[in-house]
Amino acid sequence: MPRRLLRIPTAVAGSLALTAATLTGTAGAATDTRAGTTVAATSPSHLSGTLADGATWIADVPADWNGTLLLFSHGYGPAVAQDAPSDEARTALLSEGYAVAGSSFDPQGSWWALNSAERDQFATLDAFGRTVGRPSRTLSVGLSMGGLVNAQIARDGAGRVDGALGLCSLVAGGVDLDDYQYDAEYTIASLLMPGQDVRLTGFADAADAAATAQRLTDAVIAAQATPQGRARIALAAAYLNQSDWAPDQNPPAPGDPEGQEAQQFAWLSQGVLGFIENGRWSIEQSAGGNTSWNAGLDYAALLRDSEHAGQVRALYRKAGLDLRADLATLTRGAHLHADPGARRRLEASSTAGQSLAVPLLNLHTIADQLVPVQQEAAFAERVRAAGDDRLLRQAYVARQGHCAFTTAEIVAGVRAIDRRVTTGRWGDVAEPAVLQSSALSLNLGGAAFVRYRPGRLVVGRHSSLIGS
């Protein structure tokens, strides 16, 4: 069973010039008494502009701007400028006195926009400074894929940003993401679609990726009808690091493998595979080829890394299936090689390192179907290895769904990282009870912060180019 809640680069900044901008409202000067510096004070204003690579940026500034800018990095999707996680969050943050800004990332590239995202965010910061005034403080905020951009900014942004807040962040990076997702796809194709030719990499276009997603989803739905199929779905879900707490459900009881699998199936049958395959196509566009490999991978050893291994074994026993035989089949058929150049390019663009230059607070829902909460464990381990764990805190929300935060939880997170920067110490600002109290005081949708420790992320690769 998963470990449940214990209680229910700077050098490129400025290289892109502002080529067009609009500003509504008038500006004057005011003093930010907290920072003791001069910042621009404006009537409520909306700004927009275009960067040299064609990326657009937007910003909103409240009339009573407190001098702090929130630099927002958006998630995976179309290259459209966003400056907040949601309209509701924007309204709440502006009412708190924060200005918000963010870019589209390069619209000429893939939706997996990691090749341009960090530089476009730094260029947006420069454009904001020229148009409105230099903030007294800048906090980076990122959501989902933008949470990976945010972690890169927290690594590279010394002197540009003062702190960072990650929301449902893809902090394990694109390389790990592609690898463990491939293991799940490969398991479904090998064990639920034997003898069929299923394209899992090298998609020609989005329609090609969608066709594979539909075939995999159909196979999962058909397999759910038998105990043998359910056992194999659970095996694929274990490799995917798939949550076993689905929407509109209570968490399955400890020691209930059937309940766990039923909720994993709910996720898999309701669009997760479509999102995964579209993402793989976008990543391959960005990297210039296939970045995944499994040649020589031991799938029995991989299962032993999973917190769901006991669930899988129990379901195989109940189904009368030979787990060792299925694992041997997977290991024997593991022949995929990555394009070495593509993998190196993805490593360069889509990992966070990970050292930290500024304090970073990550918030994550504990049942995230797209960016598993176990990514936080992998990230924390890398930050510790870099010797920067003093700069990292992670907090968790007991809720199902990717980025399923209330506005209150988001604002509480911003308040917490702001306080950390103001005081120079964490103190108790990232403690669940403190975050919960802060969020509930806002009356903006409730909160569910809990004390939680994520399990290990199942990836199984330790050297980037082994098997390539």
| 214 or 468: which leads in pLDDT | 214
**Which string of b and e fits 295-309 if b means at least 16 CB within 10 Å?**
eebebeebbebbbbb
Residue type for position 195:
G
Which residue(s) pair with 103 in the sheet? 57
Give kind and range of the element (H or E) at residue 21.
Answer: strand 20-23
**How much is the pLDDT for 39?**
45
pLDDT exceeds cutoff 90 at 279 = yes
pLDDT exceeds cutoff 70 at 152 = yes
Using one digit for the tens of pLDDT, what is the confidence trace for 348-360?
Answer: 999 987 899 999 9
Pair type for strands 392-400 and 163-167: unpaired
> Phi/psi at 23 (nearest 5 deg)?
-140, 125
Using one digit for the tens of pLDDT, what is the confidence trace for 89-124?
Answer: 999 999 999 999 999 999 998 999 999 999 999 999
Q: Average pLDDT in the 427-431 region?
A: 98
Instruction: With beta carbons less than 8 A apart as the criterion, state whether 348 and 381 touch.
Output: no
Q: Average pLDDT in the 139-155 region?
A: 98
Using one digit for the tens of pLDDT, what is the confidence trace for 319-336?
Answer: 999 999 999 999 999 999
Domain ranges of the chain: 45-172+352-450, 174-347
**How much is the pLDDT for 5?**
33
HSE of 136, CA atoms in CB hemisphere, 13 A: 22
List of residues 6+ apart from 94 with CB closer than 8 A: 44, 60, 62, 100
Using one digit for the tens of pLDDT, what is the confidence trace for 297-316?
Answer: 999 999 999 999 999 999 99
Placement of tokens 């199984």 in the chain? 460
Q: Which of 15-29, 68-82, 238-252 has the lowest mean pLDDT?
A: 15-29
Q: Pseudo-torsion of CA 143, 145, 150, 152, nearest 10°?
A: 170
Instruction: With beta carbons less than 8 A apart as the criterion, state whether 259 and 253 touch.
Output: yes
Q: Which of 31-45, 160-174, 273-287 has the lowest mean pLDDT?
A: 31-45
**How much is the pLDDT for 404?**
97
> Phi/psi at 143 (nearest 5 deg)?
-125, 130
What is the number of helices (H) and of strands (E) in the chain?
15, 12
Placement of tokens 């041997």 in the chain? 328
**How much is the pLDDT for 254?**
87
Res. 462 pLDDT band, cuts 50 70 90: low
pTM: predicted TM-score of the whole model, two decimal places: 0.90
Tell me how far apart the alpha carbons of residues 367 and 396 are, in angstroms, rounded to a whole number: 10
| 422 or 10: which leads in pLDDT | 422
Using one digit for the tens of pLDDT, what is the confidence trace for 381-410?
Answer: 999 999 999 999 999 999 999 999 999 999
Instruction: With beta carbons less than 8 A apart as the criterion, state whether 216 and 253 touch.
Output: no
Instruction: With beta carbons less than 8 A apart as the criterion, state whether 58 and 48 touch.
Output: yes
Instruction: Determine how many CB atoms are found less than 10 A away from the CB of residue 165.
Output: 28
Instruction: Determine how many CB atoms are found less than 10 A away from the CB of residue 9.
Output: 11
Pair type for strands 449-450 and 392-400: antiparallel
Tell me how far apart the alpha carbons of residues 413 and 394 are, in angstroms, rounded to a whole number: 10
Using one digit for the tens of pLDDT, what is the confidence trace for 133-146?
Answer: 999 999 999 999 99
Q: Mean pLDDT across the chain, nearest whole number?
A: 91
Placement of tokens 């969020």 in the chain? 439
Residue 89 is encoded by which pair of tokens? 């969050």
CATH 3.40.50.1820 for domain 45-172+352-450, yes or no, is yes
